Chain A
Amino acid sequence: MILAILFTNTDGNILVERFHGVPAEERLHWRSFLVKLGADNLKGSKNEELLVASHKSVFVVYTMLGDVCIYVVGKDEYDELALAEVIFVITSSVKDVCGKPPTERLFLDHYGKICLCLDEIIWKGMLENTDKDRIRRLIRLKPPTDA
């Protein structure tokens, strides 16, 4: 299960937050945990360099894309490598939508499209689509080229 996807700006303010199967009372805890994790480790990291952490049976893979920090949390079958796959799809789709690694402004300008991409990539905690070109077409309701 992919438990959470979180996008923040460099100050740790939330841009997008999606949880799957995480009880409401634990979400705030997760949010602050992830933001702190990013604050401790993302500074100075290279663009799109993947960082990884694990706590008990839960894995976190996170990265910095332009001015946006992205966190993916998973457990069970979504271990660090599966999550790396997920975050790779997310970063490439976001870059695709924004045209380059986004500033915060650019990210917000394309907010709707990014939400649609996420909807195509993750379906209630499961990875659904992995190819950015296909996702780009799907969010415009165009059939994929390999169909």
Chain B
Amino acid sequence: MAQPFVKKDDDHDEEEEYSPFHGIEKGAVLQEARVFHDPQLDARKCSQVITKLLYLLNQGETFTKVEATEVFFAVTKLFQSKDTVLRRMVYLMIKELSPSADEVIIVTSSLMKDMNSKTDMYRANAIRVLCRITDSTLLTQIERYLKQAIVDKNPVVASAALVSGVHLLQTNPEIVKRWSNEVQEAVQSRAALVQFHALALLHQIRQNDRLAVTKLVTSLTKGSVRSPLAQCLLIRYTSQVIRESNTNTQGERPFFDYLESCLRHKAEMVVFEAAKAITELSGVTSRELTPAITVLQLFLSSSKPVLRFAAVRTLNKVANTHPLAVTNCNIDMESLISDQNRSIATLAITTLLKTGNESSVDRLMKQITNFMSDIADEFKIVVVEAIRSLCLKFPLKYRSLMNFLSNILREEGGFDYKKAIVDSIVILIRDIPDAKEIGLFHLCEFIEDCEFTYLSTQILHFLGNEGPKTSDPSKYIRYIYNRVILENATVRASAVSTLAKFGALVDSLKPRIFVLLRRCLFDSDDEVRDRATLYLNTLKGDVSVGGSNEDVKDFLFGPLDVPLVNLETSLQNYEASDIPFNISSVPKEVKSQPLAEKKAPGKKPTGLGAPPVGPTSTVDAYEKLLSSIPEFAGFGKLFKSSAPVELTEAETEYSVNVVKHIFDGHVVFQYNCTNTIPEQLLQMVTVFVDASEAEEFSEVVSKPLRSLPYDSPGQTFVAFEKPTGVPATGKFSNLLKFLVKEVDPATGEVEEEGVEDEYQLEDLEIVAADYMLKVGVSNFKNAWDSMGPDNERVDEYGLGVKDSLTETVSAVVDILGMQPCEGTEDVPSNSRSHTCLLSGIFVGNVKVLVRVSFGIDGSKQVAMKLAVRSEDPEISEKIHEIVAEG
């Protein structure tokens, strides 16, 4: 740990540069510490030695147990001196040494004496030291003094006791909780800091008692808090109370007036805290936001960088949910692009990218271009990600945004930065069909001069998948073959595979590809040669693989059908012999749950209707998992997988959740089971499903889980057939059946005999929303207009008395399972009417758009007008049926 960071260079010998700690060494300082034992203490000398010891400790130097004990005992001698400066040093030194429990006793009496001293400063410091080194037995002895100290008239003593209380609450909560009366009194103190510390402690003592916190906030918001720091705490506690009491979204919000009044406080800290609290209120309305945004806007042009940073950071967050509210600040924000502090500039840029409209994109991009050259890679990545979201929001602007990405791709940058750009281009190619050719071309240019093998191979793989499907695949060949000539072996091998894909998928190119592949047969690397040989022989038909061309393609480029982990294990276990390795011997069962529900942390929906990017990987993983099970191979393409639905209560013996996988003519239930009993091993785990309340479904496959050991999740599947393309619904009851065997947890030994047992799970439903994919559109109006009125179905519904529109809108969205677009799922509070725009893809890959308008009258009667457009008039009808049934 100890790093000799400040052993100063010897050649710095000028007087000015000479350090008082020059050449300091631990051993020598410990020797010097012997002066502490002198009968005639030299206070000045002792202070100097302590300074040196502190210096060593502050450098990260550590003392061994023996050294620390020795120094500690020596330091305790210094209590004899009456010198105040030395005494202050001694207090600090004891805290730094944090003596062990058996040593503490040496200083306890001296400190107790100081704690009762007439000098207030001795008392304050003794309290702090004692509380730092004390344990609970000693604490009960001094508790009486501490309680007195909390209400001491000297603010330093009171603060010392209060701050000690905050720390002691972690270790001895039951003792500190007894002090609440004294702390309560201290909250009323006239000394600002005492009030601040007391408020913090009081809240910590009562934080689990909602009523008490509400009372505390109610009494203090009436205005007796002097210190700005305490005021900030109070604002935080207030917003906590508001959050927890968020039952009525109608009408006035409690304590909002207080928050608003804090916006006019004289301390900037308080103003900012209040503005931040307002922006973070759940379901905040634009009327509530306005005053907060106004003060934040003022801060944007403050001379203090910290204020500018705080303001732009908060506005950046607001822009995620209420982009329109922030547009007023755009001019101030634009001037921050040239801010000295790059963190501020980056936040300003990304906020602008979120709030900008289609017409401002070009101007913004121009400014960013100048800005990019002088920021560090980590900031650039943030900007690239923001530009990607912007492009998905305004697909028509893809040309200029794609150009920007390709330009920065050519400039200097590290791996993570380049990877972020490449990933963005790939996502844009995938989501904006028009951008495909230009994007692929940029990627081709990039690999011509790419120093990262990983990126080159990724791009080559992507080219192989997408290139053959373009209008003129031949133009990519040159770029790919250049890699074969110029690159390292890994990239060359990838390039060979890519060439082969073009050959396999584009018949007209086949002969020319063969010429190129033949050249690769003489490569210096064996992997490259092997790949070229394999592709040549199979694609030409010299070696027969299956009967048709499709079989060859499937063999070469199709999925492996076995989990990679299992393949890896099998290959490692394979010993070279005459019997060749057989891939069909690799187990296909996935050992553990592959998807540990890794939800991207903190990824909030933008509410802008941009297609969600996150969940794709989960769907991919499910697809892979299901395709590895041969029984499900004939079900076709997976349409949708639901989020896991819990079928057991939390903390039961067996925990089971289910994922519903929807196919065109089938439904597969994936039961994820976990055994939480160490003494049990479950075998042949199945779920018996009773589908008597789901008439259109008939069970076709049940795939048991062979073994379910303790704490290692596994899956069992049940598949049902259903009428193709029909959104059949129904209710299923589930019973978990298994063979249970006793396990000795100490040895892991399993008893041979098992007992059959079963366990009732909760019911499961297939609802209409399961057949709808949440897919947003970037511009609802364009999409709506281009769909045309031919397949439109409109109807009106009376929904009866409802509490609020917010609740009604979210109920309808839930019934349909569609993606709300352009933030229309948020209903401004108190509004009497609202229109919500929804988009989705219905089973059978039919695009559906819904425009649903609500109105509420004085007696809370809600009426709804539902207009549906889709590619198929029957589906439009169907949506109405779903709503009518829901």
**If the complex has contacts A143-B120, A143-B156, are A105 and B305 also in contact, measured as CB distance less than 8 A?**
no
Interface flag for A58 (CB, 8 Å): no
Contact: A128 with B159, CB < 8 Å?
Answer: yes
Convert B289-321 into 0s and 1s, putting 1 for each residue whose CB lies closer than 8 angstroms to a CB of A.
Answer: 000000000000000111101100100000000
Tell me the bound Cα distance from A114 to B788 in angstroms: 75
Give CA–CA (A14, B7) in the complex, Å.
10
Picked from A81, A112, A144, the residue with its CB within 8 Å of the CB of B269 is A81
Residues 35-88 of B at the A interface (beta carbon under 8 Å) = 47-48, 50-51, 54-55, 58-60, 84-85, 87-88
- How many B residues face the partner with a CB closer than 8 A? 65
Q: When the two chains form their complex, are residues A105 and B17 in contact, meaning their CB atoms are under 8 A apart?
A: yes
* A96 proximal to B (CB < 8 A): no
Seen from chain B, the residues whose Cβ lies within 8 Å of a Cβ on chain A are 1, 3, 5-6, 8, 16-21, 47-48, 50-51, 54-55, 58-60, 84-85, 87-89, 92, 95, 119-122, 125, 128, 132, 154-156, 159, 163, 166-167, 191, 193, 197, 229, 232-233, 236, 268-269, 272-273, 304-307, 309-310, 313, 340-344, 376
Q: Which A residues touch B269, using CB under 8 A? A: 81-82, 85
Query: Does the CB pair A49–B305 fall under 8 Å?
Result: yes
Are B60 and A27 in contact, CB atoms less than 8 angstroms apart? yes
Residue pair B6, A84 in contact (C-beta under 8 Å): no
A18 to B55, CA, bound (A): 11
Measured between alpha carbons, how far is A119 from B159 in the docked complex, in Å?
A: 14
Closest approach, in angstroms, between the C-beta of B600 and any C-beta of chain A? 14
Chain A, range 1-38, C-beta contacts under 8 Å to B:
9, 13-18, 24, 27-28
A98-112 vs B: 1/0 string, CB under 8 Å?
000001110011011
> Would you call B18 and A85 a contact (CB within 8 A)?
no
Known contacts A81-B307, A116-B88; is-contact A16 B58 (Cβ 8 Å): yes
Rounded to whole Å, the gap between the CB of B151 and the closest CB of chain A is 15
* CB-based contact A111/B55 at 8 Å: yes
Contact of A147 among B20, B47, B154 (CB under 8 A): B154
Are the C-beta atoms of A141 and B6 separated by less than 8 Å? no
**CB distance B163 to A123 under 8 Å?**
yes
Contact A81 B19, beta carbon cutoff 8 Å: no
Give the interface SS of chain A, mostly helix, strand, loop or mixed: mixed
In the assembled complex, the Cα of A119 lies from the Cα of B48 at a distance in Å of 17
- Give which listed residue, A45, A50, A104, contacts B304 with CB less than 8 A: A50
Chain B nearest Cβ from A40, distance in angstroms: 7
**With contacts A103-B16, A115-B51, A115-B54 known, what are 14 further pairs, Cβ within 8 A?**
A17-B60, A27-B60, A28-B1, A50-B304, A80-B309, A83-B306, A84-B306, A104-B17, A105-B17, A112-B48, A124-B167, A127-B229, A141-B87, A141-B88
In the complex, are the beta carbons of B156 and A147 less than 8 A apart? yes
Docked complex Cα distance between A83 and B59 (Å): 23
Q: Which of B95, B304, B306 has the most CB of A within 10 A?
A: B306
A36 to B132, CA, bound (A): 33
Nearest chain-A residue to B48 (Cβ)?
A: A112
Give residues in A with beta carbon < 8 Å to B. 9, 13-18, 24, 27-28, 40-41, 45, 49-54, 61, 77, 79-85, 103-105, 108-109, 111-112, 115-116, 119, 123-124, 126-130, 134, 138-144, 146-147
Contact check, B92 vs A115: say whether CB atoms are below 8 A apart.
yes
Tell whether, in the assembled complex, residue B21 and residue A24 are in contact, meaning their CB atoms are under 8 Å apart. Answer: no
The 7 A-B residue pairs with the shortest CB-CB distance, nearest first, are: A112-B51, A141-B121, A141-B84, A84-B306, A14-B5, A52-B309, A16-B58
Contact A52 B19 (CB under 8 A): no
Contacts of B310 in A (CB 8 A): 79-81
B-side contacts of A116, CB under 8 Å:
88-89, 92
B88: chain A residues at CB < 8 Å are 116, 139-141
Shortest distance in angstroms between A116's beta carbon and chain B's nearest beta carbon? 6
Contact A24 B159 (CB under 8 A): no
B306 to A15, Cβ gap below 8 A?
Answer: no
In Å, the complex CA distance between A18 and B92 comes to 13
Cβ–Cβ contact A115 & B58, under 8 A: yes
- A-B contacts, 22 listed (Cβ < 8 Å): A13-B8, A14-B6, A15-B6, A24-B1, A27-B60, A41-B341, A54-B343, A77-B233, A80-B310, A81-B272, A81-B306, A81-B307, A111-B20, A112-B48, A112-B50, A115-B51, A116-B89, A127-B229, A129-B193, A138-B121, A143-B120, A144-B155
